[in-house]
Every structure is written in C-alpha cells, then in structure tokens.
Amino acid sequence: MTAANKQQIDDWNGAVGERWLTYNDWLDRRTEAYGRAALAAAAAQPGETVLDIGCGAGATAFELARAVGAGGSVVGVDVSEPLLGRARERAAALGLAVEFRLADASRPLFEPARFDLLFSRFGVMFFDDPVAAFAELRKTLKPGGRLAFACWQAPERNDWYRWPLRAIAAEIDLPSVDPRAPGPFALAEPERIEQVLGAAGFGAIELSAFQAPFYLGEGEDPDAAAADAYDQVLRVGPVARLLAAQDEAVRARAEARLRGALRELARERGIAMMGATWTVTARAV
C-alpha cells in the first residue's frame, strides 16, 4: 500500500481495528438505522454489480448481496485485515458470495465502468485526498451509475459523540481537531460534500438529513444501562483514546465524571442519544 492514507491504514490494522472487531456486533446494532437509510436510497436491484467502500466486517455488503441476488455481485473493499477476516467468516456462515478485497479504495483497483452502484456506510470519510479518491472511485462506475453513502453530520448534532467528551472536559483539555481531517466528521459540512463530489465528477448530488436515536447503553434498568454505556465509552471512540493518554489520577477523575454523567442520562432500559447523518446520493456524469 502507498503513503496515501497511511495513518488510517495503520489505525484500522492496529488498535482501532482491533477495538472495532471486539465491539463489532455492538457497533453494527448502533449504526444499523443510518445504514438502512442509505441502503434504501441506494436501492440496489437484482443483477447489479456493487462496491461497498470501507465495508469493515461486512454487514452492509451482506444486505447488498441479498438485494442483487445470485445474478448480481458485490465486492467489499477495506484496508483493515482484521475486519475483512471477520467479514469473510460471516459471509461463509451466511452462505453469501461476497468478494472481500484488502485494498485502499482510493487507489485504481478495478477496471473502468465495472459497477452499477458504489455504496458506503461510514467508510468514505477517511481519505487524505477526498477529491482524488472519489474521482478514482467514479471511474469504476458505469455511465450514469449511482453513488450512495451515509456519513455523520457535525458533532453538535451527534450527542452520542459529544456528550461523553463533554463529561470529561472538566478534567482533560480536549484537543482541537481539524473538522475536515480524515475521520468520522470529515464530510459533515453539506457544502464540502457537494464540492468534493462535484470536483470528482459526480452530478445529481443530493443530501438528505437523517436522524435516529443512538443507544449508547442498554440494560434492564438505568443502572445497568449506565454501566453498559460506561463500559463502551471507555473502550471505543474518542474518550477511550484520550483517557488512555492520561496519568492515573487524571484518568480516575475523568472516569468518575463520565460515570456520573452517564448515570444522570440513563432512563429506563437505556441511554438514547441523538445521532444525525447525511444520506448522500449522486450519479457518475
């Protein structure tokens, strides 16, 4: 693989990929609704050829395979070896013929005009050079072929991300993050999505705002829900990364803040937080 996207390739084959693997079922349940909205917009048809970009452990590739049926085909591409390993195991267990390819999706990988549809659930926000990446991907679409993906709206609209960080902010200086840097919120601005896709040769670009609750914790009662959320927030996501870098005393204080905040948020059986995405569709022009 190349120097492009090197940080992401390292991350998704290292600690980030391992955490995603461990919590894959949990993450699949949390992100299912947003993926469904994008799958509905993609409207994969029997017989179509489809690429699932940044397919991870394969959940949406399997949905696409069911939609295109035996007459169609689905390829999942991802840079993460551990996640693709899980995807292949799941495909075998489900009896679904999906091809999973370990590669950087922004590189020339496929012959031109191979696919009817390019799809992604949260797998297209990690490119160092999004215009170049989407332009490369566009070449793999048949003329008039479709692009459909889900990406997160801004952190201010995603409480599941913002609230845990807010809880620890009294103890830890939160680093300032370039909102356009590769990461979950790189395509949060609608104008940027339009600019990137337009410059990459897509037309008919449409964004549809989607919202669904993101269940940060679940349990039999509020205490159990808060404990579940605490457990997860400490393991996956930005809080986990920040806390790992602190000394023991600071970490203990921040963890206590987090525990208190989550318990306050917990209602009967769960902590439901706002999650907001863009469902984006476009066509190769």
Ligand X SMILES: C[S@@+](CC[C@H](N)C(=O)[O-])C[C@H]1O[C@@H](n2cnc3c(N)ncnc32)[C@H](O)[C@@H]1O
Which one, 55 or 225, has the nearer CB to ligand X? 55
DSSP state of 176: P
Does 87 help bind ligand X (rule: CB under 6 A)?
no
Query: Quick one: which segment of 120-128, 170-178, 185-193, 201-209 binds ligand X (CB under 6 A)?
Result: 120-128
Does 110 help bind ligand X (rule: CB under 6 A)?
no
Residues 203 and 271: their CA atoms lie apart, in Å, by: 39
Burial class of residue 92 (count of CB atoms within 10 Å of its CB; 0-12, 13-18, 19+): exposed
- Centre a 10 Å sphere on the Cβ of residue 241 and count the other Cβ atoms it contains: 13
Does 106 help bind ligand X (rule: CB under 6 A)?
yes
Q: Tokens at residue 25, please?
A: 């079922």
Does 140 help bind ligand X (rule: CB under 6 A)?
no
Which residues have CB under 8 Å from 179's CB, separation 6+? Answer: 154, 185, 186, 188, 189
Does 275 help bind ligand X (rule: CB under 6 A)?
no
How far apart are the two ends of the chain, measured CA to CA in Å? Answer: 29
Q: Is 213 helix (H, G, I), strand (E, B) or coil?
A: strand
Does 232 help bind ligand X (rule: CB under 6 A)?
no
Options 83, 141, 265, 271; binder of ligand X; rule CB under 6 A = 83
Query: Quick one: which segment of 74-82, 111-119, 222-230, 236-244 binds ligand X (CB under 6 A)?
Result: 74-82
Q: Which residue has the tokens 């072929």?
A: 145
Does 77 help bind ligand X (rule: CB under 6 A)?
yes
- Centre a 10 Å sphere on the Cβ of residue 253 and count the other Cβ atoms it contains: 15
Does 149 help bind ligand X (rule: CB under 6 A)?
no
Residues 40-69 that bind ligand X (CB under 6 A): 54-56, 59-60
Which residues of this protein are in contact with ligand X, per CB under 6 A? 5, 8, 12, 31, 54-56, 59-60, 77-80, 83, 104-106, 121-123, 126-127
